[in-house]
């Protein structure tokens, strides 16, 4: 039975430093640092596990203590990590600097271990959906896209960053879902960032079924081929840490879609998950499932809010 979500992408350790006062550039700032498992693919898989979805992570970590900790924590979330490879060397890291309001100022991603991942085969016989993040090298990402197409399994692509979106732009064809922000969709289509509607049209012409365009504090646009784009406002949240919000957003969309929700309804769940993550100090919020099963405070449905 095809029921598994197979997530292929990055696993690393997040090193997140937040200043305790307004950041002053080019000098040392007082603050605090936390270290925890991260990586877009890993975060999505961990969130899906917490939400009760059958999920298998395909990734690579080093043979160090960071790799061991990343696997332990991810498995504890309910994700199958049996397909994650342990390779000689150091596990990748994502080092982020946040200001005193929790907003990202700068980040450095060292994903050499995942860049070197080689996939001889991609087993998708039991997959209901494949999620690919932009951390993979081009040849390996192409292998995943090809395997999904051959198996008739829908594929969701998360670009991760502008640089990685540009690197993999030629693979964004005949996909089920693509989840860029305005800068990333510009990199995918070589159009200006303010011409996102034309960029969405380009992706639809390439065979992409759904484009979920994230616009930060302004919310998102769910753009399904053959339908008018639907705007969804962001759910209000008190910012504690923005790290992992987009990954939770995608995981909640997938969980809702697997449960029968249409793309717009699934996107609403995604916004709730993003807000819950922003209000938490955790990259993957441990009580995410409890938050999403509670009544939606933004709903206009009296029964839903009762």
Give me the CATH number covering residue 178: 3.40.1190.20
The verdict on residue 298 lying in a domain is no
Digits of tens for pLDDT over the chain (306 positions)?
A: 579 999 999 999 999 999 999 999 999 999 999 999 999 999 999 999 999 999 999 999 999 999 999 999 999 999 999 999 999 999 999 999 999 988 889 999 898 899 888 898 888 999 999 999 999 999 999 999 999 999 999 999 999 999 999 999 999 999 999 999 999 999 999 999 999 999 999 999 999 999 999 998 899 999 999 999 999 999 999 988 888 999 999 999 999 999 999 999 999 999 999 999 999 999 999 999 999 987 766 554 433 332
Closest to 248 measured CA to CA, from 213, 280, 295, 200:
280
In whole angstroms, what is the distance from residue 45 CA to residue 43 CA? 5
The pLDDT value given to residue 298: 57
The verdict on residue 31 lying in a domain is yes
The pLDDT value given to residue 32: 94
The pLDDT value given to residue 296: 67
The verdict on residue 220 lying in a domain is yes
The pLDDT value given to residue 123: 86
The verdict on residue 297 lying in a domain is no
The pLDDT value given to residue 206: 98
Contact 51, 14 (CB under 8 A): no
Closest to 10 measured CA to CA, from 158, 135, 161:
135
Give the residue numbers spanning the domain of 51. 4-289
The verdict on residue 306 lying in a domain is no
Q: What share of the chain is helix, strand, coil (3-state, %, to 5)?
A: 35, 25, 40
Residue appearing with tokens 């979500």: 5
Q: Where are the alpha helices (DSSP H) in 57-154?
A: 65-76, 112-115, 138-151
- Residue 169 CB neighbours (<10 A): 16
Contact 134, 165 (CB under 8 A): yes
The verdict on residue 132 lying in a domain is yes
Note the pTM of the prediction, 2 decimals: 0.92
The pLDDT value given to residue 282: 92
The verdict on residue 305 lying in a domain is no
Output the CA–CA distances (angstroms, integers) from residue 275 to 6, 269, 294, in the order listed.
25, 10, 14
Total domains in the fold of the chain: 1
The pLDDT value given to residue 305: 35
The verdict on residue 303 lying in a domain is no
């Amino acid at each position: 039975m095809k029921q598994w979500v197979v997530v292929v992408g990055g696993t690393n350790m997040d090193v997140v430093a937040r200043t305790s006062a307004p950041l002053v550039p080019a000098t040392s700032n007082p603050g605090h640092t936390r270290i925890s498992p991260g990586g877009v693919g890993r975060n999505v898989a961990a969130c899906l596990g917490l939400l009760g979805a059958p999920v298998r992570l395909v990734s690579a970590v080093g043979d160090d203590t960071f790799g061991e900790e990343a696997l332990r924590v991810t498995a504890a979330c309910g994700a199958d990590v049996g397909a994650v490879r342990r390779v000689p060397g150091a596990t990748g890291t994502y080092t982020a600097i946040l200001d005193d309001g929790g907003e990202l100022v700068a980040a450095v991603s060292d994903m050499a271990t995942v860049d070197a991942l080689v996939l001889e085969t991609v087993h998708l016989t039991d997959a209901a959906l494949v999620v690919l993040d932009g951390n993979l090298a081009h040849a390996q990402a192409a292998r995943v896209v090809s395997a999904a197409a051959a198996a008739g399994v829908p594929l969701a692509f998360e670009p991760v960053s502008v640089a990685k979106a540009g690197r993999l732009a030629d693979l964004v064809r005949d996909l089920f879902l693509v989840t860029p922000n305005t800068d990333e969709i510009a990199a995918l289509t070589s159009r200006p960032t303010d011409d996102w509607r034309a960029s969405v049209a380009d992706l639809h012409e390439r065979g992409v079924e759904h484009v979920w365009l994230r616009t930060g504090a302004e919310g998102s646009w769910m753009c399904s081929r053959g339908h008018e784009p639907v705007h969804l406002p962001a759910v209000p949240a008190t910012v504690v840490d923005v790290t992992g919000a987009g990954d939770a957003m995608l995981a909640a969309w997938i969980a809702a879609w697997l449960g029968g929700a249409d793309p717009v309804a699934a996107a609403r769940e995604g916004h709730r998950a993003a807000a819950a993550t922003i209000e938490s100090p955790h990259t993957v919020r441990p009580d995410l499932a409890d938050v999403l099963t509670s009544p939606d405070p933004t709903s206009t449905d009296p029964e839903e809010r009762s």
